[in-house]
Amino acid sequence: MKLHKYVGYGLVIICIIGCFFIMMPAGKRGVVKRYAFELKPLNKVSLTTYTTDTSETDSFPLITASGLHLDSANPKKNRIIAISRDLKKLFSFGDRVVLRNAGKFNGIWFIHDLMNKRFKNKIDILINPDEPQMSLEGVVISKI
């Protein structure tokens, strides 16, 4: 007899939930956001990688242009990007960006470094010294 009581409660709950979805405005039904943030306009750039070796950086390789101190054992853990100076008008230090069309570098990164002034429309991804260097074209970078 108690089982019938619980079945009745279940049907009432299902009816309440169903009414909620029926009364919800059509524009709100079934909307699933992939990210909890909005993507800003896209920019296509060239991507290269760099390490904390002094031949690739200045004389203080474990300190970025923004003043962030890097871990010498695993510098890539902070997901740091250096941007060319012409991109400085679009991005600031500390900005979160998302990379697409970048292979294993797809995802969210943080801008904390600047490249030499001779580079244009380019980003540099900080990797660990034991990883192979690489370069890509047509990488899409968007500010979050």
Please say if the pLDDT value at position 12 is more than 80.
no
Domain ranges of the chain: 42-143
Q: Report the pLDDT value the prediction gives residue 55, as an integer from 0 to 100.
A: 84
Q: Report the pLDDT value the prediction gives residue 128, as an integer from 0 to 100.
A: 92
pTM over 0.85: no
Comparison of pLDDT for 25 and 45, the residue scoring more: 45
Q: Give, in order, the Cα–Cα distances in Å from 138 to each of 8, 70, 99.
A: 59, 28, 11
- The rounded distance, in Å, linking the Cα atoms of 76 and 84 is 19
Looking at the domain covering 42-143, what would its CATH class be?
Answer: mainly beta
The per-residue pLDDT for range 85-135, each reduced to its tens digit, is 999 999 999 999 999 999 999 999 999 999 999 999 999 999 999 999 999
Other Cβ atoms within 10 Å of 117 Cβ, number: 9
- For residues 123 and 82, is the Cβ–Cβ distance under 8 A? yes
Extract the tokens encoding 60: 């203080």
